[in-house]
Amino acid sequence: MNAEVKMMRTAAETQYSDALAALPGAEPVRALREKALRLFAEKGLPHRRVEEWKYTDLRVLLREMAPLAGKPDAAALTEAKKIDLLGNIGAREITFVNGAFVAELSNLKGLEKGLTISTLGDALKGDATLPQFLAGLNPGKYDAVYALNTAALNEGVVIDVAPGAQITKPIHIRHIVTGTSLVSVFGRVVVKVGKKAQATIIQSHAGPDAVAYQTNTVLQLSVADDAELDIVRVQAEGDKAIHLSMMVGAIGTDSRFKSFALSTGAAVSRHTVPFAYAGRNARALISGATLLRGKQHADMTLEVDHALPGGESRELFKTVLDDESRGVFQGLIVVRPDAQKTDGRMMSAALLLGDEAEMDNKPELEIFADDVQCAHGATTGALDDDLLFYLRARGIPKKEAESLLIQSFFGEAIEHIENEKIRDAMMKRAGHWLAARG
């Protein structure tokens, strides 16, 4: 018998419970929120003895909850207007400032046929099934980030692509934090892509340096049969921020899903991707590049669940670690008994630039079917001296030679982005990171 030690509630846990319980709210969200709060009160923040959080101990990293952000004022909007992470990529923008939807920084005019974009509040009025969808995660499964996000449900956006609609213009959801005070910001984004429909969504996060604000964002998606969805995520939070995020999704039969995440920001970040194959012969590519320096801590955790036959999954993650930064990659591929002919390949490669940098790679396979092809790999290494010498022998100075090699390292993940403008914007952002290497 296990002796369960009841842990003392931390200051942050108490603050979350109090602050979120005090939020106003009407049904049907109220019931959802209360349930999530109860769950949180019971289970609390994860710590290193919780396997999935072994390397990112939130009890330690999140000592205090910052106060909930208020409505953005004029100064906040002025500041937000200056944020331009990606340049002109021809996207339709939806902007949240300090967690609140800002219509004047969003473009909801002339929506393509079949595309509906609503605030969470409006969507709830029209869609009786939404609360259940928002309840999300597999019942019985607890994730503190998800529970807190649900307990804070208020602002958000629902993007609905009707069956057959081909939305070629990317939709860019921007989460911007402004100001100099410590705030907590929550956000929920729902993306539903109907049968044979297609869409491209970008989600970006930005905020001021030197402010220890806290963000918690959940992107929930469902991709119907024969549909296609591309997700690109840019996490460029300020350098003191704590960023907690999830991308939770399920994809249907013969669907195609691609996601790429570029992470350069935040002092502490954790991105969790619970991802399910809900149909047959679905294909997904989940990739990312994480570029870290200083004492940054970034955790990327995937749980890819193959429940039905014929699924193909590719995971490719590149982490570059300078100085004393720390990277975590946890990748779990589950192949359930019915998921025959699953083809899964997962790779996590880390490039250590700093002598004090650390990478924790934990790829895992749990296979319960007998006719599958699954492989995983994890590498950690420094820049290759022979490659560097070759470049330098051709007149390329050391820093530039290193930059070429680092760029080629993370470029392999970025190359999977199909939209050329978005791909170039990602290379450019990653290039800024490189250029800032002293």
Partner 1 sequence: MALLEVKDLHARVEEKEILRGLNLTINPGEVHAIMGPNGSGKSTLSYVLAGKDDYEVTGGSATLDGEDLLELEPDERAAKGLFLAFQYPIEIPGVASMTFLRTAVNSVRKKRGEEELSTPDFLRLVRERAKELNIKDDMLKRPVNVGFSGGEKKRNEILQMALLEPKMCVLDETDSGLDIDALKIVADGVNRLRAKNRGFLVITHYQRLLDHIVPDVVHVMARGKIVRTGGPELAHELEAKGYAGYENAA
Q: Where are the beta strands (DSSP E) in 36-147?
A: 92-97, 100-101, 115-119
User: Which CB sits closer to partner 1, 368 or 390?
Assistant: 390
Which of residues 29, 242, 300, 401 is near partner 1 by CB under 8 A?
401
Determine the angle formed by the axes of helices 11-21 and 144-151, rounding to 10 degrees: 30
Task: Name the minimum Å distance from CB 427 to partner 1.
Answer: 12
User: Which CB sits closer to partner 1, 27 or 385?
Assistant: 385
x-or-dash string of contact with partner 1, 360-389, rule CB under 8 A:
-------------------------xxx-x
User: Which CB sits closer to partner 1, 285 or 396?
Assistant: 396
Within 8 A by CB and 6+ apart from 429, the residues are 85, 86, 234, 236, 262, 264
Distance (Å) of CA 260 to CA 31, 177, 286, 317, 389 = 34, 22, 6, 9, 32
User: Which CB sits closer to partner 1, 343 or 412?
Assistant: 412
Q: Is 408 in the site for partner 1 (CB under 8 A)?
A: yes
Site for partner 1 in 257-276 (CB under 8 A): none
Q: Where are the beta strands (DSSP E) in 112-264?
A: 115-119, 156-161, 171-176, 184-193, 198-206, 214-223, 228-236, 242-251, 256-263
Distance (Å) of CA 90 to CA 193, 198, 222, 420 = 21, 17, 24, 11
Query: Which among 16-24, 115-123, 368-376, 393-401 is the span making contact with partner 1, rule CB under 8 A?
Result: 393-401
Q: Is 196 in the site for partner 1 (CB under 8 A)?
A: no
Report strand pairing: 100-101 vs 92-97: antiparallel
Which of residues 127, 358, 412, 424 is near partner 1 by CB under 8 A?
412
Count of helix runs (H) and strand runs (E) in the chain: 10, 19
Task: Name the minimum Å distance from CB 396 to partner 1.
Answer: 5
- Check residue 23 and report its DSSP letter: S
Please provide residue 124's backbone torsions phi and psi, each rounded to the nearest 5 degrees: -65, -30
Q: Is 409 in the site for partner 1 (CB under 8 A)?
A: yes
Q: Is 52 in the site for partner 1 (CB under 8 A)?
A: no
User: Which CB sits closer to partner 1, 100 or 404?
Assistant: 404
User: Which CB sits closer to partner 1, 168 or 408?
Assistant: 408
Task: Name the minimum Å distance from CB 141 to partner 1.
Answer: 38
Task: Name the minimum Å distance from CB 227 to partner 1.
Answer: 32
CA distance 96 to 177: 8
Instruction: Give the DSSP letter string of 48-79.
Output: TTSGGGTT--HHHH--SPPPBP----HHHHHH
Task: Name the minimum Å distance from CB 405 to partner 1.
Answer: 7
CA distance 404 to 292: 17
CA distance 283 to 427: 25
Q: Is 391 in the site for partner 1 (CB under 8 A)?
A: yes
Within 8 A by CB and 6+ apart from 29, the residues are 124, 131, 134, 153, 154
Which of residues 24, 110, 140, 395 is near partner 1 by CB under 8 A?
395
Tracing tokens 């108490």 back to the chain, one arrives at: 14
User: Which CB sits closer to partner 1, 181 or 408?
Assistant: 408
Q: Is 8 in the site for partner 1 (CB under 8 A)?
A: no
Query: Which among 5-13, 232-240, 366-374, 401-409 is the span making contact with partner 1, rule CB under 8 A?
Result: 401-409
Task: Name the minimum Å distance from CB 403 to partner 1.
Answer: 9
**Does residue 175 contact residue 96 with C-beta atoms inside 8 Å?**
yes
Query: Which among 44-52, 88-96, 102-110, 395-403 is the span making contact with partner 1, rule CB under 8 A?
Result: 395-403
CA distance 24 to 5: 34
Total of residues contacting partner 1 (CB under 8 A): 22
Q: Is 392 in the site for partner 1 (CB under 8 A)?
A: yes
Q: Is 407 in the site for partner 1 (CB under 8 A)?
A: yes
Q: Is 69 in the site for partner 1 (CB under 8 A)?
A: no
CA distance 92 to 323: 37
Q: Which residues bind partner 1 (CB under 8 A)?
A: 385-387, 389-398, 400-401, 404-405, 407-409, 411-412
